[in-house]
Structure 1
């Protein structure tokens, strides 16, 4: 069975104690471990597969905390480094009353951005599922590290997944950001994109045309996530699968997309990457359920449910339908 390798940022999310307030009005925050690729690795472990994380944090108190958190979650940290050249990245999150987020980042540079290509251990990339996001594709050494990792994974029989996970506030030049994302799209076998990111990434307003434009290079599969409306899986052939979302009381949407794609990749790994309709539909249903559960708690990584949480949730939902 393949293993999951994720690469990119591992950071502190500071979540406000009050929702619906501007950042300047918030009186306090709680720190949570975060960073989309790291969250995805945790979601993989919580779905029963082996996960490895490649990245770097500062040699500081926040970095020590994050290393401990990732190890406690069961993710292999053999390729997680600590640097004294820059601090650990921080993100301050504001929450609307509906649990939707906005971010202010403290980095540029942060330790994660200074990860060099020569720190990438290629042996771990053999026959893996490799997942990455766009936050770490900035003009720092970590971009070249990503290229090396992807090329190595491809040459060694790997499967590559890309979730752009847009963070426009990190880029002064949004056109440059779009160009970078578009240059990495063809390198992936699978793309996961939210419906509100689609037009920016493709430059096409019509959804059908935008999705068709994504099937370039190695791309074989595209997942469009739609929040409370569920998700749609598209095959290169044009066929697609729609799976509805689960209704929950949303507290904080941080990490929901990461829980979704991490769970989906884990389920596909367990099926030996069998992208038949039945396996894809089952994986999407489980991923939707875990994403929904993630939104019922604060924080990203810490709110991702395990298998017991998922089974309890499914049982409760089945009971409600029968009543």
Structure 2
């Protein structure tokens, strides 16, 4: 099984206690630990894998809560740096009736953006797979920390996974976001793209038209294309597999994409094969497992608390297979 490392933001999500309201109209929120890289590490460990998170948190109550939550989820927190000079980031979320989200971030004094590569010891660089997103690529020193860690991992032939996970409201200019995503795409072996991100990142309207864009990067071996309730597709340079969506009652999609990535990497790691040795059955199995994990998580509020266990995913999959006989 691969040892996973994620790098980037960890924050507090304030999730509304009621759906279908604009953020300005929400009265009650529930505090939950979040942030895409933290979610991926938590979900991976929740399934039984070994995962660590590299980030920087404020030495405050919110940072304490995040560390406590990750530790309870069996995530290695030894590479989380704490500071008294900056704050743990916050995000307020509103949910529409269909479970889609709007965000309001409080990150101007965010600690994670201040993490420097020199603050990482050698144990932080011990992993098999490195996963990152775009939120923490806003500025240095965190952006440069990403670059140096990724380049060190590349020299050691570690697997690199990139989920842009676009959050437009965090960037003063959309062009700056696009430039940073495109600057880091060449590092990735696995790229995960949501259907509502495709056009912005690639400049193409369909995944078929966008594939030459992604595979023009020499390290890119696999593109994961997620379509929400419509399922997901996986492309390599020679193969294409797809799975349909799962019919579940969606309450909150927060963290579902992160869960998808974690579950996909977990399933691939179980196979103990290099990417180019995976056959079509291996790929479809991993894609279906990830899609099921993400769908089941969307039935509950929040991200980490909503992630299903390995047993729950397998039971749902068996039930679904039996119903299709």
- TM-score if structure 1 supplies the norm length? 0.96
Deviation at 1:217, TM superposition (A): 2.9
1: CA distance between counterparts of 2:122 and 2:245? 38
Is 1:135 the counterpart of 2:135 in the alignment? yes
Match of 2:218 in 1: 217
Match of 1:300 in 2: 303
Is 1:284 the counterpart of 2:284 in the alignment? no
* Contact 2:260 2:294 (C-alpha < 8 Å) held by counterparts: yes
Match of 2:265 in 1: 265
Deviation at 1:189, TM superposition (A): 0.4
Deviation at 1:85, TM superposition (A): 1.3
Structure 1's 122 and 245: CA in aligned 2 closer, same or farther, altered over 3 A? farther
* Contact 2:11 2:35 (C-alpha < 8 Å) held by counterparts: yes
Is 1:197 the counterpart of 2:200 in the alignment? no
Deviation at 1:202, TM superposition (A): 1.1
2: CA distance between counterparts of 1:5 and 1:145? 14
* Contact 1:126 1:157 (C-alpha < 8 Å) held by counterparts: no
Is 1:23 the counterpart of 2:23 in the alignment? yes
Deviation at 1:276, TM superposition (A): 2.0
2: CA distance between counterparts of 1:315 and 1:240? 24
Match of 1:233 in 2: 234
2: CA distance between counterparts of 1:10 and 1:163? 15
Is 1:246 the counterpart of 2:246 in the alignment? yes
Is 1:169 the counterpart of 2:169 in the alignment? yes
1: CA distance between counterparts of 2:319 and 2:305? 22
Match of 2:114 in 1: 114
Deviation at 1:318, TM superposition (A): 4.0
Unaligned runs of 5+ in 1: none
1: CA distance between counterparts of 2:56 and 2:25? 32
Match of 2:73 in 1: 73
Pairs within 5 Å for 1:71-110: 71-110=71-110
2: CA distance between counterparts of 1:77 and 1:96? 33
2: CA distance between counterparts of 1:169 and 1:122? 35
Deviation at 1:46, TM superposition (A): 2.0
Deviation at 1:67, TM superposition (A): 0.3
Is 1:154 the counterpart of 2:154 in the alignment? yes
Aligned length: 321
Deviation at 1:264, TM superposition (A): 0.4
2: CA distance between counterparts of 1:261 and 1:253? 14
Q: Structure 1, residues 150-176: CA drift from partner, whole Å, max 9, x if none?
A: 011111221000000000000011011
Deviation at 1:18, TM superposition (A): 1.7
2: CA distance between counterparts of 1:206 and 1:249? 28
CA RMSD of aligned residues (A): 1.4
2: CA distance between counterparts of 1:27 and 1:52? 35
Structure 1's 32 and 116: CA in aligned 2 closer, same or farther, altered over 3 A? same
1: CA distance between counterparts of 2:202 and 2:121? 33
Deviation at 1:260, TM superposition (A): 0.5
Deviation at 1:207, TM superposition (A): 3.1
2: CA distance between counterparts of 1:319 and 1:271? 24
Shifted more, 27-36 versus 148-157: the winner is 148-157
Match of 1:311 in 2: 314
Shifted more, 109-118 versus 94-103: the winner is 109-118
* Contact 1:92 1:103 (C-alpha < 8 Å) held by counterparts: yes
2: CA distance between counterparts of 1:276 and 1:97? 40
Shifted more, 228-237 versus 270-279: the winner is 270-279
- TM-score if structure 2 supplies the norm length? 0.95
Q: Structure 1, residues 96-119: CA drift from partner, whole Å, max 9, x if none?
A: 000100100001230111111112
